[in-house]
Amino acid sequence: MKITAITAWAQWQPFVDGIYTCSGGRSAAGFDSTLLRVQTDAGLIGWGEYAPLGSFYDPAFVGGAREGLRLLAPLLLGADPQSTGALVRRMDLHLNGHPYAKSALDMACHDIAAQAAGLPLAEALGGRFGETVPLYRSVAQAAPAAMADKARAYVAAGYRRIQIKVGLDVGEDIERMHQVMDVLPAGTVVYADANAAWRPAQAREFLRATRDLAYTFEQPCAGFDENANVRAVCDRPLVLDESIDSLPAFLRAQQARLMDGITIKIARVGGITRTRQLRDLAVECGLGVTIEDTGGAQIDTAAMAHLSLGVPESHRTHTCDFHHWVTVANAQVPLHCAGGQMDAPRLPGLGVTVDPAAFGAPLFDLHAR
Ligand code: 0XW
Ligand code: MG
Q: What is the pLDDT of residues 219-231, one digit of tens each?
A: 999 999 999 999 9
Domain with CATH 3.30.390.10 in the chain: 3-118+353-367
Residue 153 scores a pLDDT above 90: yes
Could you please state the CATH topology (level 3) that the domain comprising 3-118+353-367 is classified under.
Answer: Enolase-like; domain 1 (3.30.390)
Q: Residue range 21-38: average pLDDT? A: 90
Enter the CATH code of domain 124-342: 3.20.20.120
Residue 21 scores a pLDDT above 90: no
Q: What is the pLDDT of residue 168?
A: 86
> Which of 17, 21, 22 to mutate to test ligand 1, by most ligand atoms within 8 A of the CB atom?
22
Does residue 290's CB lie within 6 angstroms of at least one atom of ligand 1? Answer: no
- The three state secondary structure string of the chain is CCEEEEEEEEEEEEECCCCEEEHHHEEECEEEEEEEEEEECCCCEEEEEECCCCCCCCCCCHHHHHHHHHHHHHHHCCCCCCCHHHHHHHHHHHCCCCHHHHHHHHHHHHHHHHHHHCCEHHHHCCCCCCCCEEECEEECCCCHHHHHHHHHHHHHCCCCEEEEECCCCHHHHHHHHHHHHHHCCCCCEEEEECCCCCCHHHHHHHHHHCCCCCCEEECCCCCHHHHHHHHCCCCCCEEECCCCCCHHHHHHHHHCCCCCEEEEEHHHHCCHHHHHHHHHHHHHCCCEEEEECCCCCHHHHHHHHHHHHCCCCCCECCECCHHHCECCCCCECCCCEECCEECCCCCCECCCECCHHHHCCCCEEEECC
Domain with CATH 3.20.20.120 in the chain: 124-342
Q: How confident is the model at residue 25 (pLDDT cuts 50, 70, 90)?
A: confident
For residue 368, how far is its CA from the centre of ligand 1 (angstroms)? 37
- Active-site residue 265, yes or no? yes
Ligand 1 atom at minimal distance to the Cα of residue 195:
11
Q: What is the pLDDT of residue 179?
A: 98
Does residue 321's CB lie within 6 angstroms of at least one atom of ligand 1? Answer: no
Does residue 34's CB lie within 6 angstroms of at least one atom of ligand 1? Answer: no
For residue 153, how far is its CA from the centre of ligand 2 (angstroms)? 21
Q: Average model confidence (pLDDT) for the chain?
A: 97
- Active-site residue 165, yes or no? yes
> Which of 27, 56, 320 to mutate to test ligand 1, by most ligand atoms within 8 A of the CB atom?
320
